[in-house]
């Protein structure tokens, strides 16, 4: 459908008809056929910040995944309606922490006598329920672009952090950016009694990492890094912090999707790069920078797209825009008032980080 001129024309016409009534946000992992219609593109931090940038827009069409659309709903006014073009665009990582599991974990921390010392820090990639839990217990949200600042802030509030739900971002930030050791981190497994941890292990830890991960970034391995270095001498390896610790430790640069784009913009002609993040973005960057003589390859050819990001395709976008242009509200993402109040507290703490 990428080159279907009929669909492109229909999307353009519907968007034109809606005018200022619609504001389209697009995450960097979106398909080319979709991202061309975004008014703003960004990493998850930038999209959370910019969601509220157009208060006059009645509809915010979010081309991304469910937790991003929820966050946009939380951060915009009640009369702005957030639309996710395909409701099946979830995130497997966000699904790895449910409200019941996290409540149970808090009971375990309470029984171990450490709950008062623990500050929750939740990755943006989590449901509104988890964000509300975080706000209720004095914690903050973070993204891959401000995780260190969020942890600095959290360790000013308490002695320990419960990091949800991405163990890799938590571990990578603690060890790579904060000078902690791997031994300072324990992993709480929600599928085991007491998280699979003894009270003593919990008391000895600084970082309690939730056992969640990204199914896409989790597939890059140390072999991926070693192989590409062998294949392309002088290559710069640049990866997203959702990759495993051993991958991040072996990489040259680590950062969010926005960081990755900026790094490649600043890269000199003739430089070579292997990128460990979602394939839509890597392909787009490879095409964009090839004319400038920057060679950009995907870190591991056996890794594929984020299937849920890819759910948003041009037919779904056209359907959403045309429905809105006809006055029919479809696929609205709306967080209930109580959840919203506490989740907003946590998101606002993030937006206020220095
Ligand atoms: P960024 O915040 O770096 O864009 O990452 C979002 C995401 O879902 C990565 O998998
Ligand atoms: Fe979720 Fe991973 Fe897809 Fe990002 S890339 S939306 S973390 S599954």
Q: Who contacts 99 (Cβ-Cβ below 8 Å, separation ≥6)?
A: 127, 129, 130, 133
Closest ligand 1 atom to the C-alpha of 260? Answer: 3
Residue 278 Cβ < 6 Å to ligand 2: yes
Classified as helix, coil or strand, 41 is strand
Q: Is the pLDDT score of 104 beyond 70?
A: yes
Query: Residue 153: pLDDT above 90?
Result: yes
Check whether 1 has a pLDDT greater than 70: no
Please tell me whether 241 is known to bind a ligand.
Answer: yes
Provide mean pLDDT across the span 149-156: 98
Q: Provide the pLDDT confidence category of residue 2 given band limits of 50, 70 and 90.
A: low
Q: Is 256 marked within a binding site?
A: no
* Pocket flag, ligand 1, residue 345 (CB < 6 Å): no
pLDDT digits (tens, 9 = 90+) for 36-45: 999 999 999 9
Nearest ligand 1 atom, CA 309: 8
**ipTM of model:** 0.98
Looking at residue 314, its pLDDT comes to 98
Ligand 2 atom closest to the Cα of residue 166 is 7
| pLDDT of the residue at 347 | 98
Model confidence band, residue 155 (pLDDT cutoffs 50, 70, 90): very high
Model pLDDT for residues 224-282, shown as the tens digit of each residue: 999 999 999 999 999 999 999 999 999 999 999 999 999 999 999 999 999 999 999 99
In short, whether 65's Cβ falls inside 6 Å of ligand 2 is: yes
What is the 17 CA–ligand 2 centroid distance (Å)? Answer: 32
d(CA 243, CA 254): 9
Q: Is residue 71 a known part of a binding site?
A: no
Write the residue with the smallest CA distance to atom 7 of ligand 2: 214
Q: Is 144 in the pocket of ligand 1 (CB under 6 A)?
A: yes
| Section 193-203 average pLDDT | 98
Name every residue whose Cβ is closer than 8 Å to that of residue 333 and which is 6 or more positions away in sequence. Answer: 62, 66, 69, 70, 72, 73, 82, 83, 84
Cα–Cα nearest to 340, from 62, 69, 131:
131
The pLDDT, as a whole number, for residue 205 is 98
pLDDT, tens only, 120-147: 999 999 999 999 999 999 999 999 999 9
Q: How far is the CA of 325 from the centre of ligand 2 (A)?
A: 30
Does 257 sit in the ligand 1 pocket, CB within 6 Å?
yes
Mean of the per-residue pLDDT values of the chain: 97
3-state secondary structure 109-159: HHHCCCHHHEEEEEECCCCHHHHHHHHHCCCEEECCCCHHHHHHHHHHHCC
Place of tokens 């109580």: 338
pLDDT at 297: 98
Residue nearest to atom 3 of ligand 2 (CA): 306
Longest dimension (CA), the chain: 63
pLDDT, tens digit, for every residue of 311-337?
999 999 999 999 999 999 999 999 999
Give ∠ CA 287-2-93 in degrees, rounded to 5. Answer: 80
- For position 302, what pLDDT does the model report? 94
Taking each helix axis from N to C end, the angle separating 337-351 and 66-75, rounded to the nearest 10 degrees, works out to 90
Q: Which domains does the chain have, with CATH numbers?
A: 5-91+309-335 (3.40.50.10800), 94-212 (3.40.50.10800), 217-298 (3.40.50.10800)
- Residue 3 pLDDT more than 90? no
CB-ligand 2 contact for 306 (6 Å cutoff): yes
What does the alpha-carbon distance between residue 278 and residue 280 come to, in Å, rounded to a whole number? 6
Three-state DSSP state, 336: coil
Measured distance CA(91)–CA(100) in Å, rounded: 18
Q: Which value, to the nearest 10 degrees, does the dihedral of the CA atoms of residues 167, 169, 174, 177 take?
A: 170
Looking at the CA of residue 44, tell me the nearest atom of ligand 1. Answer: 2
The pLDDT of residue 152 is 98
Q: Per-residue pLDDT for 93 more than 80?
A: yes
Would the pLDDT of 151 be above 90?
Answer: yes
Let me know if 202 is exposed, middle or buried by CB neighbors in 10 A (0-12, 13-18, 19+): buried
Indicate which atom in ligand 1 lies nearest the CA of residue 278: 10
Q: Is 224 in the pocket of ligand 1 (CB under 6 A)?
A: no
């Amino acid at each position: 459908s990428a080159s279907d001129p009929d669909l492109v024309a229909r999307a353009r016409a519907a968007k034109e008809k809606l005018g200022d009534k619609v504001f389209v946000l697009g995450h960097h992992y979106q398909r080319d056929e979709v991202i061309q219609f975004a008014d703003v593109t960004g990493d998850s931090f930038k999209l959370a910040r910019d969601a509220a940038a157009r208060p006059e827009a009645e509809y915010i069409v979010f081309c991304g995944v469910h937790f991003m659309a929820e966050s946009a709903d939380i951060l915009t006014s009640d009369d702005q309606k957030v639309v996710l073009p395909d409701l099946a665009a979830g995130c497997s990582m966000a699904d790895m922490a449910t409200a019941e599991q996290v409540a149970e974990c808090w009971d375990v921390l309470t029984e171990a006598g450490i709950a008062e010392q623990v500050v929750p820090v939740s990755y943006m990639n989590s449901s509104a329920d988890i964000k509300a839990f975080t706000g209720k217990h004095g914690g903050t949200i973070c993204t891959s672009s401000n995780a260190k600042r969020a942890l600095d802030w959290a360790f000013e509030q308490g002695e320990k952090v419960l990091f949800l739900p991405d163990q890799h971002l938590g571990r990578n930030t603690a060890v790579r950016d904060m000078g902690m050791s791997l031994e300072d981190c324990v992993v709480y497994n929600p599928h085991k009694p007491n998280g699979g941890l003894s009270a003593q292990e919990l008391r000895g830890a600084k970082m309690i990492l939730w056992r969640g991960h990204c199914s896409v970034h989790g597939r890059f391995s140390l072999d991926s890094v070693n192989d590409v270095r062998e294949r392309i001498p002088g290559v710069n390896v640049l990866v997203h912090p959702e990759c495993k610790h051993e991958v991040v430790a072996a990489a040259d640069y680590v950062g969010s999707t926005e960081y990755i784009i900026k790094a490649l913009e600043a890269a000199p002609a003739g430089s070579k790069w292997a990128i460990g993040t979602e394939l839509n973005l890597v392909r787009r960057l490879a095409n964009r920078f090839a004319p400038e003589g920057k060679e950009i390859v995907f870190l591991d050819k056996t890794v594929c797209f984020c299937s849920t990001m890819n759910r948003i395709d041009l037919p779904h976008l056209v359907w959403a825009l045309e429905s809105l242009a006809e006055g029919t509200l479809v696929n609205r993402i709306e967080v209930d008032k109580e959840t919203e109040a506490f989740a907003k507290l946590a998101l606002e703490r993030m937006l206020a980080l220095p």
